[in-house]
Amino acid sequence: MDKILTLAGEALFPITRDRHGNPLPVPPSTGFSVPGTIQGEGKLAGMPSLFIRLSGCNLRCIWRLEDGSFSRCDTPFASFDTREVVRIEVGELMELLQANLDETKHVVITGGEPMLQKDALIELTRRIKGELGLHISIETNGTIFSRELAGFIDLYSISPKLRNSDPDAEKLSALGLQMSGPFKYHPEKRKNLEVIQSFIDFARNNGKDFQLKFVIGRPEDEHEIKEEFLGKLHSWKPGDILLMPLGSASEELRKSARLTMEMAVRNGWRYSPRIHIDLFGNRQGV
């Protein structure tokens, strides 16, 4: 029997057909007549892709901007409030994916935190590589590692969470948020350098790629990145380090974009756009 994945939101998106190839009655959130979108962030920004969004997160982030306002995780339906989920067998998801590929050759596994469901993902990614031959990226916070799963992934997009992301009581109260969902929150486990180094080492030794993608909202983030992460990790290059402005909406991005860009230039790191927010705002399924 196929393993079951717990997915959030649109589950596989954006798509225009059911798993039998029949047109869906409602067009995707992109408004396009074809399935697929582009990767909006990181080294593969602009690459035509399909996304698989898993439900559940072990960190559930809320950031504080320089002006004192708060910005929560841009996918709260997959992290903070995970009551509405789609449970789907790997085989059914494979059929749905194949029916919506067209010319798309990249699939992105995201969340929430996908590695919480690593056992089912091993089966899914093995089949994606073996039956469809697609390029697979996984977006992870870098707190859980699976060597077996890593073998089926082409790009590890690791987004370590800085102290500014901690969802403390003040932030939760200000945004009226509750901690819900099936996965427990462990504030003491927000950083795992051993796991991050395992991803880097596996990539270097097995012809894979990785990126360390940091969300920037305040000047002191630069010191934390250097001293608490990069200074304790090895085998990375400046081109592997990406800085992304904080925000789940265009007006929030504008507050931190110049700070982020200057920080990237000063250190020889990459600046990562957030194309989907620029084009669609804070909309699901794009």
**Pairing verdict, β 85-89 and 4-13:** antiparallel
Q: Residue 80 has what pLDDT?
A: 60
Domain assignment present for residue 124? The answer is: yes
143 is in an annotated binding site: no
In CATH, what number is assigned to the domain containing residue 237? 3.20.20.70
182 is in an annotated binding site: no
Q: 87 in helix, strand or coil?
A: strand
* Residue carrying the six token digits 């904080």: 246
DSSP state of 161: P
Q: Residue 196 has what pLDDT?
A: 98
Instruction: Give the confidence band of 57 by pLDDT, cuts at 50, 70, 90.
Output: confident
Q: Residue 182 has what pLDDT?
A: 45
Token pair listed for 73: 């995780």
Domain assignment present for residue 53? The answer is: yes
Report, as an integer, the average pLDDT of 256-267: 96
Alpha-helical regions (H) of 46-117: 90-99
75 is in an annotated binding site: yes
Of all residues in the chain, the percent with pLDDT exceeding 70 is 92
39 is in an annotated binding site: yes
Domain assignment present for residue 135? The answer is: yes
Indicate if the pLDDT at residue 110 is higher than 70: yes
- Structural domain span for residue 220: 4-280
160 is in an annotated binding site: yes
Domain assignment present for residue 80? The answer is: yes
pTM for the model: 0.93
Q: 65 in helix, strand or coil?
A: coil
Cβ–Cβ under 8 Å, residues 211 and 42: yes
159 is in an annotated binding site: yes
Domain assignment present for residue 263? The answer is: yes
DSSP state of 280: H
Q: Residue 175 has what pLDDT?
A: 74
Domain assignment present for residue 286? The answer is: no
Cβ–Cβ under 8 Å, residues 140 and 115: yes
What angle separates helix 90-99 from helix 118-127, to the nearest 10 degrees? 40
Report, as an integer, the average pLDDT of 234-238: 98
Indicate if the pLDDT at residue 61 is higher than 90: no
CA dist list (Å): 284 to 30, 78, 118, 141 = 9, 11, 24, 20
Indicate if the pLDDT at residue 28 is higher than 50: yes
Q: Residue 27: is the preceding peptide bond cis (ω within 30°)? A: no
Instruction: Give the confidence band of 51 by pLDDT, cuts at 50, 70, 90.
Output: very high
Domain assignment present for residue 259? The answer is: yes
73 is in an annotated binding site: yes
53 is in an annotated binding site: yes
pLDDT digits (tens, 9 = 90+) for 141-155: 999 999 999 999 999
61 is in an annotated binding site: yes
Here the contacts of 65-70 (C-beta below 8 Å, separation 24 or greater) are 65/217, 65/218, 65/246, 65/247, 65/252, 65/255, 65/256, 66/217, 66/218, 66/219, 66/255, 66/256, 66/259, 67/255, 69/252, 70/171, 70/174, 70/175
pLDDT digits (tens, 9 = 90+) for 111-138: 889 999 999 999 999 999 999 999 999 9
Report, as an integer, the average pLDDT of 224-248: 96
Residue 160 vs residue 173, higher pLDDT: 160
Distance of alpha carbon 167 from alpha carbon 192, whole angstroms: 18
Domain assignment present for residue 285? The answer is: no
91 is in an annotated binding site: no
Helix (H) or strand (E) holding 123: helix 118-127
CA–CA–CA angle 70, 255, 156 (5° rounding): 75
How many domains, the chain?
1
